[in-house]
Amino acid sequence: MSPLAGWGTFYQIVGSSAGALTGLQFVVVALSAQSRTLRKAEGSLHAFGTPTVVHFGAVLLIAAIVSAPWGSLAALGTALSLCGAAGIGYVAVVFRRTRRQEVYAPVLEDWLWHAVFPAAGYVSLTAAAVALPDHPTGAPFWIGGAAVLLLVAGIHNAWDAATYIALAGGADGTRGAAAAGPADTAPRH
């Protein structure tokens, strides 16, 4: 029996969640396309919005890779390690984009959720994928944990973006109805 035999339901849940949340992220961006804030913030969208879709896509890809009928754990590990390495490279791009965008000065929470946690997820994925052939019992837990970390980071970042767009205002540039609180609760990015 394969060490991944009991993981089917886990990856069905995680993968379908990532797919659905990717669709919702597209809806959020489409609905906010008329916002002056969004139109002026293309650099911020590439630093804060696009990575969310990429992380959800990575979770969906991880679920698909793990669910495929691989002939060996080494082949599965190679595919997952390539996915993890690509993610590490992408986080480096996001880090650079975040530093270059001029609309918003990221705070510690932003660096954690948009750079550190996704990087940890991709590093964990890569390390577990490399270790998979030699540690077929423990490595799948690290792979699953990496997928969940990327999913949770994506959920946090999607919520962060949605609340920012709601608070930043609509097409006329006024703040949204959700921003009825004091002015010092201005959006973070």
Helix (H, G, I), strand (E, B) or coil at 102: coil
Q: What is the pLDDT of residue 31?
A: 60
Taking the C-alpha atoms of residue 87 and residue 59, their distance in angstroms, rounded to an integer, is: 11
Residue 72 has pLDDT above 70, yes or no: yes
Q: What is the pLDDT of residue 171?
A: 41
User: DSSP readout, 127-187?
Assistant: HHHHHTTT-TTTHHHHHHHHHHHHHHHHHHHHHHHHHHHHHH--TTSPPPGGG-S-GGG--
Whats the size of the chain, residue-wise?
189
Least confident of 28-32, 42-46, 139-143, 144-148: 42-46
